[in-house]
Copies of this chain bind each other. A is one copy, B any other.
Amino acid sequence: VGDDARVRDVEPGRVLADLRHLAELTGGPGGSRRLAWTGEWTRAREWLGGQLGEIGLALEADEAGNLWAELPGERDEVALFGSHLDSVPAGGWLDGALGVLAALEVLRACAGTKPPRTVGLVDFADEEGARFGHSLFGSSALAGTLDAAAAAGLRDAEGRRLEDVVGEHGVRLAEAVGAARRRKRLASFLELHIEQGPVLEAEGLPVAPVRGTVGVERERAVFTGEAAHAGSTPMDRRHDAGLAAAGLARDVAEIAREAGGVGTVGAIAMQPGVATAVAGRAEALVDLRHADGEALAAMRAGVHEAAAARAEAEGCTVEHEPIWRIEPRAFDAEIVAAAREVCAAAGGRSEPLTSGALHDAAEVAPHVPTAMLFCPSIRGLSHTPEEDTAEADLLAAVAAYGALARRLIER
């Protein structure tokens, strides 16, 4: 390593070639097949290790199955880059893989140099949670928020326990939060990801800074009325739980619009659930998201109020079962400011987006100065084989990411 060797610019075309190679290696017409804790996921990670080997670096697993690589700099503090290689079943080629392979390219751009900060890559384990329903597995271990006892008993569709399956991949679940020791050397974290939404495509912009992730309140609203014969029960003598749940679905959308957040009823389950019976019970799955914690709390209160009114109007009762929640996570103001500059310079968006989806960066953000960049998703699609981004947008986004990475490394 010559003292005068300088960090080079990333070459976006190499990231595109790597993504295509990985898609061939672990994908097909049915989409990507990098489900966490499977042989194909392992194959993808071994291939990543091979690529790092070509620049003299090696991958190291932590207690939670996250993979790390490091290129030593003048200082011990680490400018970290990465995302996740795992995918949902029949998912897309970019979700997660883009951020890991862009990080690989940052290391390539640094190879043979001794940059001011140490440069790190991370491939977080099981971001999707598609197999056991536990999202952000590896990054929550790094954050120290992983609840190993709760996770232990989760089972996949074949009935296998999470604890046993991760054990086959060298992870002792009870010790997974040991990964948190890695946090103390981290000076920054940057993640490039597809938007998984329609905003950037609609605006015709290739890249955007992200200011944080939204808070989420996920609950089940359970209406109880009285099942009755659909033919012989007059309209004014019904206690139709399904009608109340349908009304709440409309209210959720209205409340979200007014609050400037998003709100979704993704399923309504009615019982007995047949054409010939008024529903005696109906469950609505409610998902509310907002960038602002107070606004999110107000949305939740509004939904509870609306549910009570719908229940009363139909002669039913309602209860709310919490499913999952997370507060809004703001990214680092300084890095976001730098991200705005590189995105604007690349012809992208200057005003930051708030991510409505969750990412590993949301787990890292409370502990390490963090930011993300988004590139467009065609038709907003993700978690499907149709997931795609225009080539020119991918190239522009990786270039902007590389420019921001250089700033973080050379700080």
Q: Which residues of A contact B (CB under 8 A)?
A: 195-199, 202, 214, 216, 218, 226-237, 240, 242-243, 245-247, 249-250, 253, 256-257, 262-268, 270, 272-279, 285-287, 289, 323, 355-358, 379-384
Contacts and interface: CB of A to CB of B under 8 A. Distances in A.
A197 B268 contact: no
Contact of A232 (B196, B218, B279): B196
Nearest to A353: B232
B197 A214 contact: no
A275 B264 contact: yes
Which one of A231, A232, A256, A267 has the greatest number of beta carbons of chain B within 10 Å? Answer: A232
Q: So how many copies of this chain end up in the complex?
A: 2
A233 to B, nearest CB: 5
A287 B277 CA distance: 9
A249 B256 contact: no
Nearest to A355: B232
A267 B266 contact: no
Given A232-B195, A237-B380, A253-B240, A275 B270 contact: no
Nearest to A252: B243
B234 A198 contact: yes
A263 B265 CA distance: 23
A379 B270 CA distance: 21
Given A237-B198, A268-B242, A228 B274 contact: no
Contacts of A246: 245-247, 249-250, 265, 268
B253 A250 contact: no
Contact of A216 (B226, B231, B266, B383): B231
Given A266-B274, A277-B266, A382 B229 contact: yes
12 contacts: A196-B229, A197-B231, A228-B380, A229-B382, A231-B262, A231-B356, A235-B256, A240-B253, A243-B250, A246-B268, A266-B274, A276-B287
Contacts of A266: 230, 242, 270, 272-279
A234 B262 contact: yes
Contacts of A247: 246, 250
A277 to B, nearest CB: 5
Nearest to A199: B234
A61 B278 CA distance: 36
A235 B257 contact: yes
A379 B239 CA distance: 12
Contacts of A384: 227
A205 to B, nearest CB: 15
Contacts of A270: 266-268
Given A231-B214, A268-B246, A285 B274 contact: yes
Q: Which 9 A-B pairs have the closest CB atoms?
A: A197-B232, A231-B356, A246-B249, A230-B264, A246-B246, A232-B356, A231-B357, A267-B273, A275-B285
Which one of A228, A289, A383 has the greatest number of beta carbons of chain B within 10 Å? Answer: A228
A199 B238 CA distance: 11
Contacts of A274: 266-267, 285
B253 A233 contact: no
Contacts of A257: 235-236
A148 B249 CA distance: 43
A380 to B, nearest CB: 6
A257 to B, nearest CB: 5
B250 A278 contact: no
Nearest to A232: B197
A69 to B, nearest CB: 29
A1 B46 CA distance: 98
Contacts of A231: 196-197, 214, 216, 262, 287, 289, 355-358
B253 A249 contact: no
Contact of A357 (B229, B249, B273, B380): B229
